Each structure stands twice: as C-alpha cells, then as structure tokens.
Structure 1
Amino acid sequence: MKQDVKKIIKDSLSANKQSLLEPECKAILSGCGLPIPRSVLIKKKKEFETKAKKLTPPYVLKVVSQDILHKSDIGGVVTDIKNIKELNNVWTKMVKNISHKMPTARIDGFLLEEMSPKGVEVIIGGLRDTQFGPVVMFGTGGISVELMKDVSYRLAPLDKKEAIEMIREVKGYPLLTGFRGSKPADIESLSEAIIKLSEILIKIKDIKEIEINPLLVYEKGVAAVDVRIILNPDNE
C-alpha cells in the first residue's frame, strides 16, 4: 500500500472527517491498484482551460464538497461535455444551481474526469460488521440493485475462487457473459477488483464502509467511476 493512501486516511481523521471527498476516495483506489478514470482537481475557473487540456474529451464534471452527498440531485454532476467552451458554460450553470439549492455548502473544488466508455455496470462494496467483521458485497448495477436486491456477500479476506462464485451467484450474471450478442466482459479483472476491495477493508481498519457504484466492466479491464468511503474514527 502506498504512503499516500495512509496519509489521506490520517489527515482525514485528524480533521474529524466522517467520509472522504471523491478525489481522496479515488486516490485510495488507485493507490491500491484499482483502475480509475484520468482526472484533475480544479479549484478556480481560470484553471479550467489549462487543466482540461491534460485530459481527452468528452469530460465529466463533478462538484467536490463535504456538504453535498447526492451531487446529481442538485445538478452537481454533468457528463458528456464535448469541449472546453461547453465546459465553461457547464461550470457557470453548476455553480449557479448549487448556490440556489445549497447556498451554505462549502465547495472544495471541481473534479474533471475523462468520461469512461460504456461497459457493464456492477457494484462492489464492503462494510465492517460489528459481529462478522469485514464483509464484501457484489451486485449487478442500475435498477437491479435498487429494485431486485441482486447481490451476493462474502466475508473478507476472500480468494479468486470465492470472488468468481460471488459473480456467478447474482441473477444478472448473464449480462457479463455476452447477453444478446454483446461481447463477454472481463470476469478475471472483475474478480481481481473484488479481491482488492476486500484487501482494502482488511488492511485499512479506519475504513468503515466503501462502495464503488458503478464499476464498469469491459471486454478487457474495469474502471471505478464513482466511489464513496465512510471512515471508522474509533477503529471499531
């Protein structure tokens, strides 16, 4: 595990944070070997053009704030931004929406990412159960998780055999095997992502909950598009 990961956790606990900001979450994933979209953190509007040129459009723009848990509800996430001119317009509108809907929210910046290609959406996560300890969850993405509760669970740590069993248990498994003529998804990389998430829970006891939703699974590889991490300040 990289020193940067330990520093993020230590600094956040020292600041009495209960959860991490998205750039911090993704830095932890990257430091633990999980693929994330290329991104830059922008603090001021005048930085947009210079920093945006480091990435390849289309872009995704997200507000970064400890006070805003559901960014989409207040217009704090915009996808498929095609160029820098459009990006400037999106930023102006986003700031206006947030100022109107959550005027007291503290804005820590804006996360600009390269928009990930479409893939099979799944969710992987874990929590620290008071009785059983670290528990890992896998499920198909979108409405399958919300409506059908299409998920499987295992105790951490887990090995490759257990990770693949988790994947095959859910009703949405055919979506990963080439449903309706689509190409089969990379089960190998998906199982590795589940194992790495279980290792995060085992190694970083200051993490209480972690959820990657969605994790996009491709013909080759995966990408963690959204992630949230809740801290465990008492290390219970």
Structure 2
Amino acid sequence: MHRDPLVVKVLPSDAEHKTEMGLVKLRVQSAEDVDALAQQFRQRMGKPQAGILVQEMVGDGVEVVLSCLRNADFGPVVSIGMGGVAIELFRDVTYLALPVSEEQVVAALRKLKLWTLLEGFRGKPAADVEALARAAVRFGDLFVASTEVQEFEINPVIVKKKGEGLAAVDALVTACRQDTLA
C-alpha cells in the first residue's frame, strides 16, 4: 500500500527556527523513520520531552507568510509576503492595517515580487490568489477579535494552484503580556 510522505519536525514552542537547526525532515516514509528522527531531534536539542509534530506533506505551491501583530503605532496589522525560508532572504512583505478587504489584499500582493510567483512563473500554474485573499481577511478578522494574542504567524502557507485553495504548514502564536491586556 502506498502512503503519502510525511514531514517530521519539532514543535514551534520548543524551537522557533527549526529549519536552521536541522529539526525538520521532509518525505519521511515509515513509522520507524519517524521514531528515529524524533529521538535524533530531541537529542540534538538536549530536550528529551520536546514535542514532535508529524504531518502530511503538502504538495506543490507557492510558499507565503501570513502574519498578524499588534503594532504600538498602527494597531493590528496583517503582513503577507514570500514565506518559508525566503522570508528572511528576500524580505518581500507588505503590511496592511486591519480590518482589510480582499481587494486591498490583492492590490498589495500585486506590488510584491511574490506576485510573479502567484501568477505562475516559468511554466508553473497560477496560484489560488482568491483563496489567499479570503484567508488573509478571515485571519485578520479572527486576530482583531482575539485580543489576548500579540502575534500570530503562519509560515509557510502553501498556496496551491488556482481553484485548489491553500494549506497552513506551520504556525507560531505569541500571547499578550498579562500587564498589557485591557
């Protein structure tokens, strides 16, 4: 019986920058490999109880970061841009004050280099920009309503080809400090 490949990684609460630390393994095929990797990751970190996440490997698409944060000057904002490891390399990100509309999201995306990838670069199919815009709006609305959250980042979001939606691959949530809650 054929099984889809898995991804094995340490939970964000135990290591924020998992890729750089060698704490993510793609295309894992067996339960034995999952167990061996979990032991290896925990040993590498010196945390025998570190949480390990095993998830289905998401197929092809454009990696995007979708993040919300409470900015002291501008209030709640959403940022969208190149995701995965490219976020720190290219810093191709746009910021929008919340709440935001789908039209505002698409207009902001069009100004990024990311837009070329979303349109379908070098023979790749066009990505589901409509699903990304809807997700950004809903994500922003949820963030505004969740006043106990300081920052919420999903990175990467895999934007699949047009009509196929997207998949959130990894997320990190930071709660507000108790003394800052109103």
TM-score w.r.t. the length of structure 2 is 0.85
User: Where does residue 121 of structure 1 map in the other structure?
Assistant: 63
- For 1:64-83, what aligned pairs fall within 5 Å after superposition? 64=11, 66-82=13-29
Report the AA paired with residue 70 of structure 2.
Answer: R
More off after superposition, 139-148 vs 226-235: 139-148
Structure 2 letter corresponding to 1:221: G
Tell me by how many angstroms 1:65 deviates.
6.8
SS in 2 for 1:169: coil
Equivalent residue runs for 1:74-153 within 5 Å: 74-82=21-29, 84=30, 87-99=31-43, 101-103=44-46, 105=47, 107=49, 109-142=51-84, 144-153=86-95
Could you tell me the TM-score, scaled by structure 1's length?
0.67
**Matched ranges for 1:1-236 at <5 A:** 56-64=3-11, 66-82=13-29, 84=30, 87-99=31-43, 101-103=44-46, 105=47, 107=49, 109-142=51-84, 144-219=86-161, 220-234=164-178, 235=181
Deviations 1:11-41 (A, max 9, x none): xxxxxxxxxxxxxxxxxxxxxxxxxxxxxxx
Alignment RMSD (CA, Å): 2.1
Supply the distance in 1 between the matched residues of 2:147 and 2:18 (Cα, whole angstroms).
27
In 1, Cα distance between equivalents of 2:9 and 2:51: 9
SS at match of 1:215: strand
Deviations 1:120-153 (A, max 9, x none): 1111111101121101101123565323321111
Q: Which whole-Å CA distance do the structure 1 matches of 2:50 and 2:86 have between them? A: 33
Q: Is the contact made by 1:121 and 1:142 (CA closer than 8 Å) also made in structure 2? A: yes
Q: Distance in 1 between matches of 2:120 and 2:12?
A: 39
Q: 3-state SS of the aligned residue for 2:135?
A: helix
User: How far, CA to CA, are the matches of 1:216 and 1:210 in structure 2?
Assistant: 17
Structure 2 match to 1:22: none
What CA deviation, in whole Å up to 9, does each residue of 1:142-169 have, x standing for no partner?
5653233211111011111111112112
* Gapped regions of structure 2 (runs ≥ 5): none
SS for the counterpart of 1:180 is coil
The percent of aligned pairs where both chains have the same amino acid is: 34
Give 1 or 2: higher helix fraction.
1
Q: CA deviation at 1:201?
A: 1.5
- Whichever structure has more strand as a proportion of its residues is 2
**Aligned-partner Cα distance in 2 for 1:181–1:73:** 30
Partner of 2:19: helix, strand, or coil? helix
